[in-house]
Amino acid sequence: MKYVNFEEQILPTQHDFFMREALKEAHLAFEADEIPIGAIIVTNGRIIGRGHNLTQRLNDVTAHAEMQAFTAATNYLGAKYLLDCSLYVTLEPCIMCAGAAFWTQISQIVFGAYDPQRGFKRLQSSVLHPKTTLIGGVLQNECSELIKSFFQKKRKS
């Protein structure tokens, strides 16, 4: 749904707004020479967790953006479950991150770019918790262009 103000200007949707926040995290990863994926966790319109890819910096294959955001959000809430929370992530989660999302019982996952090679749906579409809703393709072009530009830069190096 789009919201229109009195000047007939189209305002961003809630999903666009929060995906732009996830893109800010992805840009931090890009600047740190990490694969530019960003994630945030939202509850009641408030960001309670942020994360971006840290796999190179931490030398840890599990340090994905989603995992960083899950940890930040659960620490904020003081609980292991993310009920009534939404994950916004710039790339379709991999099977590991989708599995972690299952265990958090997160209510909603909203992602930007699809990942036909490593996205969880390629391997198993029913890996999410039965109560989790999924929305894909939010700001898809912006999310995928950032990843493409990262790998183009890498090829030139």
| Packing angle, helices 14-31 and 65-77, rounded to 10 | 120
Query: How far is Cα 34 from Cα 65, in angstroms, rounded to an integer?
Result: 10
**Is 145 a catalytic site residue?**
no
Pairing, β 108-113 against β 133-135: parallel
Q: How distant is the alpha carbon of residue 56 from its chain centre?
A: 18
Query: How far is Cα 34 from Cα 129, in angstroms, rounded to an integer?
Result: 29
Catalytic residue of the set 7, 8, 25, 66? 66
Query: How far is Cα 138 from Cα 20, in angstroms, rounded to an integer?
Result: 10
Instruction: Provide the annotated active-site residues.
Output: 66
